[in-house]
Structure 1
Amino acid sequence: MRVRDSVVVVTGASSGIGRATALACASAGAAVVLAARRADALAEVARECEAAGGQALAVPTDVTDADAVQALARRAVERFGRIDAWVNCAAVTAFAPFLEIPLEEFRRIIDVDVMGYVHGARAALPYLRDQGKGVLINVSSVVAVVPQPYTHAYSMAKAAVRVLSASLRQELRLDGAKGVKVCTVMPPTIDTPFFDHTANYTGRKAKAMPPVYSAERVARTIVDLIRVPRREVMVGPMARNLLMQSKFAPGLAERMMGSQVDKMHLYRTKPAPATSGNLFEPAPGTGSVSGGWHGRRQTALRRVASTAALLTGGMVAARRWGR
């Protein structure tokens, strides 16, 4: 499908991957419909998209509200006549020991990161099916394959998103809706404001765990999927390596992920107060694509290379011994 002159709805468009995706689609000549909770941030993104050469419509939306997401789809069709692609990208998270995160906040993460995608799919698919074509893109994560400690609800949610996509593909195929495609994108750590907005009950400040990829890289992947849909796409070599390691040495991959998160996802010397982050109220300001994480860790690539070598060696050993 051509991106130019297509109509693309993006949830979570106020910052990070969602914002980068909206800008990439607009730069390619698409009309973008922007959804997030922050009206001021969406207005800024809409201006940037129009400056990039696309048309833009900002629709403040909380994806946990099914009626609001249905209204988002209607606004898109009323303004632009159709929906060609829908990108589910809104997400929140929390870092916390399992027994210390408030249950209300655990449920909120599931509500945003799973039910928000369910609401988006239920809003988009009737239009795509009626047209006989279109693309639904769900942004999952590498933690859907190799989960992390301290982010239980987020890891669970991203695994659920991957399963949702697979189930929808099967159902659409059985129903003969061959022109409607469902894609899953699984990025590793991305340079966004996500880690500054997280809920946190670990007592340690969260940070982006290297290697850190740009949000624009994920956005380019999403634009490519609009053009040529694929079932699942891992973003970057680290995500692909983790997928392979999880297949051949799952126990080792699990142990190494736990160790890396403890050492490199949470500062040891920077305490952080308990906070619910942006779970219930959006972060202030007009948002941004980047979180400023590139360049903060000059030794990151060397440390990751060492870790990859350990994992690869362990994978070979596991295969040799049939484990």
Structure 2
Amino acid sequence: MTEQTPADDVSSARELREVVLVFGASSGIGRASAIGFARRGASLVLVSRSASTLADAAADCRAAGAAAVECVPADVLEAPAVQAAVDRATSTFGRLDVVVHSATVMAYGRVEDLDPAVFQRVVDTAVQGTFHVFQAVVPVFRAQRRGSLVVVSSLLASITAPTMSAYVTAKWGQLGLIRTLQQELRELPDVHVSAVAPGGVTTPIYDQAATVLGNSAHPPPPVYTPERVARAVLDRVANPRRLKQSGFANPVIIAGFRLFPPVFDALVGPLLKAFSMGRDPVPPTTGNVFAPVPEKEATRGSSRGI
């Protein structure tokens, strides 16, 4: 019997560390999730469009206790770049345990007022971007016969809201893709695909959203922190769920949408205007839909809700 040396113990400890790949890691829930995994001592590969704020997120992760951090500036709409990020994880760390996908963009405006290019980009980022992530990650998990993939969905994947047609369409389409993949991977019991659906969260997405409404927007109440949603993301590794609603009011809102559509339709517009729209003037903007806005990226946004 061979006696294990201290060096062997160190090597074994390194092997047991999670290898985690996070898309959308420079801001919001993605950044909070990366920091959460860092506190568990994970080895991380962080991906986002903004190289400068990605470096800031990496510094946060190292300070939180990450075993190692690699940064890959990339847009999920570019399939080769997504594949390169997955390859970076497997070539650097030898495997891939967890993938978190939270990259998304948002736009406000009535259907007839939205720029078609903005609408298409919001939808493509969620649907085509998620498709690219799936196509790069699933073959790795199939080969390993294990792995956890967690996608940050939204309450708006289950309901609709006026002036949010682009984001609603994006999230409904994304959830359809997620549910289909869950069905396709049933024969692999140790490969898990989960979705976490938050409601209002104090992330910078509201500060960065495209809008033609003429005013600012805020997360609708009840409002949660990115760190709280990140805990739900981390929990899905040990406790996978097809769809986890992150917010106590989500099931009530969804029930109202499904069971009492006339009442829901009558209330949702006025409530959204009263509790999620500011009164300060904002000129029309494409926000970060086509390119990142690094100065507005952080774990939390300036909009704290009403």
> Would you say same fold, with TM above 0.5?
yes
Partner SS state of residue 186, structure 1: strand
1:185 and 2:196 equivalent? yes
Partner SS state of residue 290, structure 1: coil
Aligned residue runs from structure 1 range 49-88, under 5 A = 49-54=61-66, 55-88=68-101
> Deviation at 1:255?
3.1
Q: Which residue of 2 aligns with 1:316?
A: none
Q: Which residue of 1 aligns with 2:12?
A: none
1:258 and 2:269 equivalent? yes
- Say whether the 8 Å CA contact 2:45–2:89 is kept in structure 1: yes
Q: Which residue of 2 aligns with 1:112?
A: 125
- Say whether the 8 Å CA contact 2:206–2:303 is kept in structure 1: no
Q: Which residue of 2 aligns with 1:290?
A: 300
What TM-score, normalized to structure 2? Answer: 0.91
* Counterpart residue identity of residue 60, structure 2: E
Aligned residue runs from structure 1 range 239-258, under 5 A = 239-258=250-269
Q: Which residue of 2 aligns with 1:9?
A: 21
1: distance between equivalents of 2:135 and 2:264? 35
Partner SS state of residue 216, structure 2: strand
Q: Which residue of 2 aligns with 1:279?
A: 289
> Deviation at 1:211?
1.7
Provide runs of 4+ in structure 1 moved above 6 Å. Answer: none
2: distance between equivalents of 1:78 and 1:192? 32
* Counterpart residue identity of residue 215, structure 1: P
Equivalent residue in structure 1 for 2:157, among 117, 132, 144: 144
1:126 and 2:139 equivalent? yes
- Say whether the 8 Å CA contact 2:52–2:294 is kept in structure 1: no
> Deviation at 1:73?
0.4
1: distance between equivalents of 2:129 and 2:28? 17
> Deviation at 1:178?
1.9
> Deviation at 1:252?
2.2
Equivalent residue in structure 2 for 1:39, among 48, 51, 58: 51
1:95 and 2:108 equivalent? yes
> Deviation at 1:243?
2.4
* Counterpart residue identity of residue 35, structure 2: L
2: distance between equivalents of 1:286 and 1:140? 22
CA RMSD for the aligned pairs? Answer: 1.6
Partner SS state of residue 249, structure 2: helix
What TM-score, normalized to structure 1? Answer: 0.86
- Say whether the 8 Å CA contact 1:147–1:254 is kept in structure 2: no
- Say whether the 8 Å CA contact 1:77–1:83 is kept in structure 2: yes
> Deviation at 1:286?
7.5
- Say whether the 8 Å CA contact 2:211–2:284 is kept in structure 1: yes
Structure 2 residue runs of 5 or longer lacking an equivalent are 1-15
> Deviation at 1:7?
1.1
Percent same amino acid at aligned positions?
Answer: 37
> Deviation at 1:122?
0.8
> Deviation at 1:263?
2.2
Partner SS state of residue 35, structure 1: strand
- Say whether the 8 Å CA contact 1:146–1:254 is kept in structure 2: no
> Deviation at 1:72?
0.7
* Counterpart residue identity of residue 104, structure 1: A
* Counterpart residue identity of residue 113, structure 1: A
1:203 and 2:175 equivalent? no
Deviation per CA, 1:290-311: give whole Å up to 9, x if none.
11334x63xxxxxxxxxxxxxx
